[in-house]
Structure 1
Amino acid sequence: MDGNTRLCTATAAAALKESFGCDGQPGSYTDVDHADVIALYGHNVAETQTVLWSRILDRLAGPNPPALICVDPRETEVARAAAVHLANRPGTNLALMNGLLHEIIENGWIDERYLGEHTVGFEELRKRVHDFPAEEAARICDVPVADLREAARLIGTAGRLLSTVLQGFYQSHQATAAAVQVNNVHLVRGMLGRPGCGVLQMNGQPTAQNTRECGADGDLPGFRNWSNDAHVRDLARVWNVEPLDIPHYSPPTHAMQMFRYAEEGSIRFLYVIGTNPAVSLPELSRVRSILAREGLFLVVQDVFLSETAQLADVVLPAATWGEKTGTFTNADRTVHLSDKAVEPPGEARPDLDIFLDFARRMELTDQDGAPLVKWSDAEGAFEGWKECSRGRPCDYTGLSYERLRGSGGIQWPCDDARPGGTERLYADGRFLSAPDLCEDYGRDLVTGAPLSQTEYRALNPDGKAVIKAAEYVPPHEEPGGEFPFWLITGRTVYHFHTRTKTARAPQLQEAAPEVWAEMSPGDSGALGLAEGDLVEIATPRGRVRARVRVTGMRDGVVFLPFHYGYWDASGGREPGDGAATAANELTITDWDPASKQPIFKTAAARVTLVERGDRPSAAPTTAAARPVAQGVPATTGGTAARSTTSLGSASSPASGRASGSASGLASGSASGPASGPASGPAVGGGVR
């Protein structure tokens, strides 16, 4: 078992476990309101978390605005608002962080008392970054050395520093190692546990926090440690099973390895729930061939008939968020309750009901012969989860549906000692890293080799925060020769993941109807390309066609949004119908050694002209895709996006539902769009 978390936020969890012994964000969204410097590392918050960006904009427009530092090869809205924009070369995030830490340490912008009392490993870090002066880091990263030094000065002299990290780091080369260095900045500066002083190792979808704490990402529930027999025994007690019934004799199998096993034939049954690997995983031609294997029985449980569902033997139609009741937990540990608003249509059922039915049909029992699953509804499941979390770092025992309803959310841990929840972790310099408590014993950040319990006890017997250094090594695939460009992928503000819901919202589909390729003015000029030209982007794995959007991108980099599969709002396409539009046709089968998160940000590519454009690219003119050319029509959502408001009433055109769909516009699953009802298995259990 693994979660969509593996593609999205596995590195966040891994980095937090490496530094603090346990998952769970140290900071809070409220730190935005207090920080005087906000550093955003590979985090295009203006397009990926728009409400949080609005909160940052409020600070920027008010008195005493914070200074922003943006690390991103694209000229995003964050970059335009930043005091310093470091548009580093893809694959060099760790080199950049080592350079920043060198400047911070060499200038004495560190908290010696905090380091001595609350951390281990600082001297190793000092030695590692000693050979990474600003000039060397700037050379590797291809950024102005003056900008790197200015960023280090702002970070090193901030009174209240907030750092956020997202996919620009997580889906890149040496992902965990780079993210850990962001934690190291806060540890060497003593910037944790106070208003405005925090780290948010962000989630690509904020509610992915649920996946991690409940164990659906290959970990044990409640942040228990696979390698700690006492933790396994405690979970066995909660579930009333024998400890040996909980497999813990080897590290969990991550998603990328699962697909390899399915490719080899040793996995013959695959159950895909609320995710769309036929669009979201790297090297899609390989992934599609695996999903379509005759020897693999594929079950897909989702809201819409996604590209993955079309390859399934059985489809189980699921209800979406407004059609079921349950809790979700945001990135900063805030627990919310979502009540069901409407009944699901047709045969669609809430995921929980499907799982309960499955458990009954499988006759799953505990060691006394009683049903293994003791609850029958969402609130009962929540009460069961509370007991599973009791005494663990993510303690929910002080929460209830009654308390959550109307509360606006409560941050865990919440128990008898902290009935109001906990705004920030580690305020007292005490960490969840003691050998008997920690969720993980850590790994070598370069090779991914795990530490044993004995090694960890020797490293950190007193349960302090762990400062871990890492050597920079170049990416496995670099531009050169036939493939001179870096290819990176990412999101746009108008679509979410593989467009399960957003492609069905006509306003959003109108705003970003098709894939595009962003290039810099220098690169497009050198190739004789102009706005709207149709080009082919190729890597050793495949080809994609897209129209050029010339933006403020750094030279040497091509950007493709990853949302677009073989489906479009006009009725759907099959693989092979014309040119590919999915960015992941091109990405590499490779992953970070520590977090096992796939790498989507470092691939070597070439760009060639297919035909001259007769129109500008349909890419949005807002945010990072803003064109440098004049006269490009502004992005609109079409007539469906128009609304009028008058005193006492408001109206807006309804978007409606896709014909034959199992749900409305909003989906609680991180999956892709449906392809239309004409193909694929029958909903409710057809056979391919």
Structure 2
Amino acid sequence: MTDSTKTLCPYCGVGCGLEVSPPAELGKPTNRDAKGNPIWKVRGDRSHPSSQGMVCVKGATIAEAIDKSRLLYPMMRNSLDEEFRRVTWEEALNAIVNRIQTVRLTSGPDAICMYGSGQFQTEDYYVAQKLIKGCLGTNNFDANSRLCMSSAVAGYIQSFGSDGPPCCYDDLELTDCAFLIGTNTAECHPIIYNRLRKHHKKNKNVKMIVVDPRRTTTAEDADLHLAIRPGTDIDLLNGIAFLLMRWGMFDSAFIDECTANFPAFAEVIRHYPPELVARKCGIRMDDLELAARYWGESKRVLSMWSMGVNQSSEGTAKVRNIINLHLMTGQIGKPGSGPFSLTGQPNAMGGREAGGLANLLPGYRLVKNPEHRAEVEQFWGLKAGQISPEIGLTVWEMIQGLETGNVGFLWIAATNPAVSMPDLERTKAALKKSPFTVYQDAYYPTETAAYAHVLLPAAQWGEKTGIMTNSERRVTLCSAFREPVGQARPDWAIFAEVGRRLGFADKFTFTTSAEVYAEFVGLTKGRPCDMAGLSHELLKQEGAQHWPFPAGIRRKDSARLYTDFHFHTPDGRARFGAYHSRGLAEPPDPEYPLVLTVGRLYGHWHTQTRTGRIEKICQMHPQPFLEIHPRDAQKLAIQEDDWVAVRSRRGWAKFQAKVTSAISPGTVFVPMHWGALWAENAEANALTHPEACPDSKQPELKACAVRVVRVGAEVMETVEQAVFSSIS
């Protein structure tokens, strides 16, 4: 291959276009790394409309990990005490199929579970749904998007009648007020932040408000930084609404004609006067008033949020409260405005389109809706009633099912729950109880591989062709530029082969991912995420496209949703949500007086399965740390670089202290990337709890109560055994 290949970055939901060139040009020697692996050249794709040729350090270095620590062939073992042995695909597939059949006969289909990933391509997601929810008749498919975007999904559905961010990246350069809450966009979504930052700097009238307990890189650029206490987001949002109401800064015509339930919302917000809200949030009252004035006086308000909002026991309520402010002021469906959820993973949007959560079906359909189930059954050629009417197990419920013995078969693919799940020691103990776990990934070792009975090698980025959808609903064809290594296979092909061996050969006749995608888009016809006009060939020829993209009809306004102010509800009206703040599920107390919040760093991605193998990134972020405010550090006699032990009600971890006024007093911060393979006892999720939003079932990974103890490095080992020996 001598020409460059256009593809998409496989990290965050920004969805940056990349061009990949082969390791050597004709007549020139091949560039290789220290181990002799060819080095592919990666640069930003200037023709991709989302990223416009820009690329962050993760995208720029992605090819450096493609040949490192790869899982090359299937492996198996009978128990977790044994070593893995190399096996053929035939042996591995037979073992999987036999186990599934046994569990179906002895325990029923609801003892079968699959846990997937926002790093799947859409084809992977779709074939998994057809296998698990269709052919096997259980909705026990969940994805790590449950930990990432499920509160945004629930919020959009409840407010607008359908999932789907209504904004586009062009709005970043059209807004006159950017309201960023629960997102460190500069580090976690750097390329779209670059677009916003340039627009902000160029136009003095453009205001940026950042809501975050930390003074992040994003907050440093803000006109107004609101360092609220963790868990007071709803107080803040209701307080802004109170002031907009008091000052008459609301769009009564839009409210009357396009919304419902405003009286209930108005009744709630009257309980949030600025004096009370400022005190609860720990901010100045004049800053609260300035935020409300910025919003109320702006003609185009664009709000953005990510994990800091979604990962909460009241995540859906927070999302809906953000949307409430847009509905109150008519700030939706217009250029430069709207509520914009920034997706965490490269194809979490595609997973939502394909039905990749336990409560969803393909085409933005819901498991609980009998018409939706019937439509999918008919399309897939299934018997009436074959799709279960019951919502499947979320990933945390799968963990609980392992504890009780109700889960007899667990298939994990393209994700690393032995690092990313909350209450990690409990999670690991449950994984140890699993009678049969299949783990499908591109890399080995990973932390989760230690809990598997069967390992399946998956083709990864650059080795398979498929579709991904980014945060702005832009669909991109990601073309392969090399063959899979070893015996690795695309995820969708593995799922399809298991389906055929289970007796559903007529449902899995696909030979290419293009055929899979062609079937999938047919199931979106007439739905809010209609992509019936898209195909691999069209995307290859015309480049990335926004949906909706119906067949035969090209909508001119598909970059934005709700431009006609008509929503996907029975009466066409958007719904206000009326919520009082409940606060943190686990607030601080005298025994655990600090609130721990966790987050991401610019260079690393999730649990370091890729980035931990890239030298440049490891040099940028050599080790985990704990941020603590000087006031708290002084109370605890902690100085810069001291070793500290952090304890919650569930577990403990150790870090070196970083004393900084960038974190609010009473709050400490730890990055979430380090699992057991990369540092000793530095797992942030050993501390977090599984309490979740009742609507989205998304755990509150962002906040838990902890205490911090300074410990000299020379006695750290003793402390590990003594200070925290009471933890069960």
TM-score range, shorter chain: 0.7 to 0.9
Is 1:272–2:272 an aligned residue pair? no
In the alignment, the residues of structure 2 paired with residue 44 and residue 567 of structure 1 have an alpha-carbon distance, to the nearest angstrom, of: 26
What secondary structure sits across from 1:299 in the alignment?
Answer: strand
SS in 2 for 1:535: strand
Output the CA distance in 1 between the equivalents of 2:443 and 2:348. Answer: 20
Are 1:380 and 2:481 matched, yes or no? no
Aligned counterpart in structure 2 of residue 412 of structure 1, from 526, 547, 555: 547
Distance in structure 2 (CA, Å) of the matches to 1:36 and 1:474: 31
Deviation per residue, 1:566-612 (Å, 9 max, x gap): 112xxxx7xxxxx5110000001211111100111221111111116
Measured in 2, the distance between the counterparts of 1:528 and 1:503 equals 33
Partners of 1:383 and 1:484 in 2: CA distance: 55
Residue 69 of structure 1 aligns to a residue whose secondary structure is: strand
Question: C-alpha deviations, 1:293-343, integer Å up to 9, x for none?
Answer: 1x5211011111211112100011111111110010011110000110111
| Equivalence for 2:182 | 42
**Alignment partners' CA distance in 2, 1:374 and 1:109:** 58
1:470 aligns with 2:579: yes
Q: For the residues of structure 1 that align with 2:369 and 2:525, how far apart are their CA atoms?
A: 17
2: distance between equivalents of 1:514 and 1:546?
A: 9
1:194 to 2:334 alignment: yes
- 1:21 aligns with one of 147, 161, 182: 161
Deviates more, 1:110-119 or 1:87-96: 87-96
Distance (Å, rounded) in 1 between the aligned partners of 2:234 and 2:435: 39
Alpha-carbon contact 2:690-2:701 (below 8 Å) kept: no
**What is the aligned partner in structure 2 of residue 236 from structure 1?**
377
Shift of 1:563: 0.6
Tell me which of 588, 610, 615 is aligned to 1:506.
615
Mapped partners of 2:497, 2:474: distance in 1? 30
Look up the SS of the partner of 2:142 in the other structure. Answer: coil
The residue aligned with 2:273 is 133
> Aligned partners of 1:501 and 1:200: how far apart in 2?
28
1:243 is paired with a residue of what secondary structure? Answer: coil
Letter in 1 for 2:677: W
Q: What SS does the aligned partner of 1:32 have?
A: helix
- Report how far residue 230 of structure 1 moved: 1.8
1:204 aligns with 2:344: yes
Whole-angstrom distance in 1 between the partners of 2:148 and 2:369: 27
Q: 1:182 aligns with which of 313, 316, 322?
A: 322
Work out whether residues 305 and 341 of structure 2, in 8 Å CA contact, stay in contact via their aligned partners in 1. yes
Which secondary structure does the structure 2 equivalent of 1:315 belong to? strand
Q: How does 1:213-612 map to 2 (within 5 A)?
A: 213-218=353-358, 219-248=360-389, 250-293=390-433, 295-305=434-444, 306-364=446-504, 371-405=506-540, 407-415=542-550, 416-418=552-554, 422-434=558-570, 462-551=571-660, 552-568=662-678, 579-611=680-712
Q: Which amino acid aligns with 2:530?
A: D
Shift of 1:353: 1.5
Aligned to 1:156: 296
Matched residue type, 2:664: R
* Matched position secondary structure for 1:540: coil
The code of the aligned residue for 1:522 comes to R
Q: Distance in 2 between matches of 1:199 and 1:580?
A: 38
Change (3 A) 1:258 1:57: same
State the Cα distance separating 1:64 from its structure 2 match. Answer: 4.5
Q: Which amino acid aligns with 1:550?
A: V
CA distance 1:276–1:65, shift in 2 (3 Å): farther
Residue in 2 aligned with 1:625?
none
Identity of aligned residues (%): 36
Where does residue 441 of structure 1 map in the other structure?
A: none
Q: Structure 1 residues 258 and 534, CA, compared in 2 at 3 Å: closer, same or farther?
A: same
CA distance in structure 1 between the aligned counterparts of 2:398 and 2:172, rounded to whole angstroms: 39
Q: Which amino acid aligns with 1:301?
A: Q
Distance 2:227 2:468 in 1: 35
What secondary structure is seen at the aligned counterpart in 2 of 1:324? Answer: coil
User: Do the aligned residues in 1 keep the contact of 2:313 with 2:691 (CA within 8 Å)?
Assistant: no
Match of 2:566, SS?
coil
Cα distance, 1:192 vs structure 2: 0.9
1:252-273 CA distance string (max 9 Å, x none): 3211111111110000110001
Aligned 8 A contact 1:28 1:198 in 2: no
Looking at structure 2, the residues matched to 308 and 52 of structure 1 have their Cα atoms a distance apart, in angstroms, of 32
Contact 2:142/2:356 (<8 A) preserved: yes
The count of corresponding residues between Structure 1 and Structure 2 is: 571
Instruction: Give 1:65 shift.
Output: 5.5
**Residue-by-residue CA offset, 1:363-419 (whole Å, 9 max, x unaligned):** 215xxxxx1124221100110011111111111111122221254411000013325
In 2, the alpha carbon distance for the partners of 1:66 and 1:382 equals: 41
CA distance in structure 2 between the partners assigned to 1:543 and 1:151 by the alignment: 38
Taking the aligned partners of 2:513 and 2:205, their CA distance within structure 1 comes to 43
Which whole-Å CA distance do the structure 2 matches of 1:227 and 1:266 have between them? 22
Does the Cα contact within 8 Å between 2:612 and 2:618 map onto a contact in 1? yes
- Is there any run of 5+ residues in structure 1 with no aligned partner, and where? 366-370, 435-461, 574-578, 615-688
* Offset, 1:421: 6.9
Q: What secondary structure, in the 3-state scheme, does the structure 1 residue paired with 2:410 have?
A: strand
- 1:532–1:612 CA contact under 8 A, matched in 2: no
Deviation >4 Å, runs of 4+: none
CA distance in 2, matches of 1:217, 1:107: 42
Amino acid at match of 1:492: L
Structure 1, residues 426-450: CA drift from partner, whole Å, max 9, x if none? 000111112xxxxxxxxxxxxxxxx
Contact 2:596 2:702 survives alignment (8 Å): yes
| 1:424 maps to amino acid | R
User: Quick one: distance in 2 between partners of 1:99 and 1:507?
Assistant: 44
1:328–1:290 CA distance, 2 compared to 1 (3 A)? same
For residues 490-545 of structure 1, the C-alpha deviation after alignment (integer angstroms, 9 at most, x for no partner) is 10011010011100111001111211000112211222211111100111111110
Partner-residue secondary structure (3-state), 1:14 = helix
Letter of the aligned partner of 1:270 in structure 2? L
Cα distance in 1, alignment partners of residues 237 and 513 from structure 2: 43
Q: Distance in 2 between matches of 1:118 and 1:206?
A: 33
Mapped to 2, the partners of 1:537 and 1:226 lie a distance apart of 41
Tell me which of 210, 224, 245 is aligned to 1:105: 245
Further displaced range: 239-248 or 397-406:
397-406
Confirm or deny: 8 A CA contact 1:301 1:315 kept in the other structure: yes
Give the distance between the partners of 2:264 and 2:470, measured in 1 at CA: 34
- Is the Cα contact below 8 Å between 1:309 and 1:315 reproduced in 2? yes
Kept in 2: contact 1:173–1:602 (CA 8 A): no
Q: Deviations over 1:621-663 (max 9, x none)?
A: xxxxxxxxxxxxxxxxxxxxxxxxxxxxxxxxxxxxxxxxxxx
Q: 2-side partners of 1:612 and 1:328: how far apart?
A: 46
Secondary structure of the residue that 2:634 maps to in structure 1? helix
**1: CA distance, partners of 2:187 / 2:269:** 33
Q: State the Cα distance separating 1:477 from its structure 2 match.
A: 1.5
